[in-house]
Amino acid sequence: MTANEVFETTFPVRYAETDQMGIAHHASYVVWMEEGRSQYMRAKGIAYEEIEREGRFLAVADLGVRYVAPARYGDAVTVRTWIGELRSRTVTFGYEVLHATSRSLLATGQVKLVWIDRGGRVTKMPDWVRLAIGGG
């Protein structure tokens, strides 16, 4: 089951995100991808903070990033986010990070998340989230 819509969110590279190599530090992309995920869910009418209030959490199980070209302070980046795979207990997001103005590719990534409850036990995706995401 796959939901193929792609959501984009754009923001400037922060000075604090650079390192002494003069480029955005590679851990920043992990935060940007998470921000892409947040915006994806908001665009679908899902407030993730609401899910947590119900005692469901999305824990990161697996993360991969391939870095193609550096992002720099002064640039804005566009994060493209989509759902790569939607299962009852996991969801995998796919990402591209682009230079916002040139649209050149800076990085690709994927993050697999597992639904857990307050006790950290693997659980199922809430039904209302599945409906909102559009998984059949």
Torsion of CA 37, 39, 44, 49, to 10 degrees: 80
Give least dist CB 81 to a copy of itself, A. 14
Nearer Cβ to a copy of itself, position 18 or 82? 18
Which H/E stretch holds residue 96? strand 90-99
Note if 127 is an active site residue: no
Give the 3-state secondary structure of residue 123. Answer: coil
Backbone φ and ψ of 63, nearest 5°: -145, 135
Nearer Cβ to a copy of itself, position 1 or 89? 89
**Which stretches of the chain bind a copy of itself, using CB under 8 A?**
11-12, 14-16, 18-23, 25-27, 30-31, 34-35, 38-39, 47-49, 52, 57, 59-67, 70, 72-74, 120
Active-site positions read 19
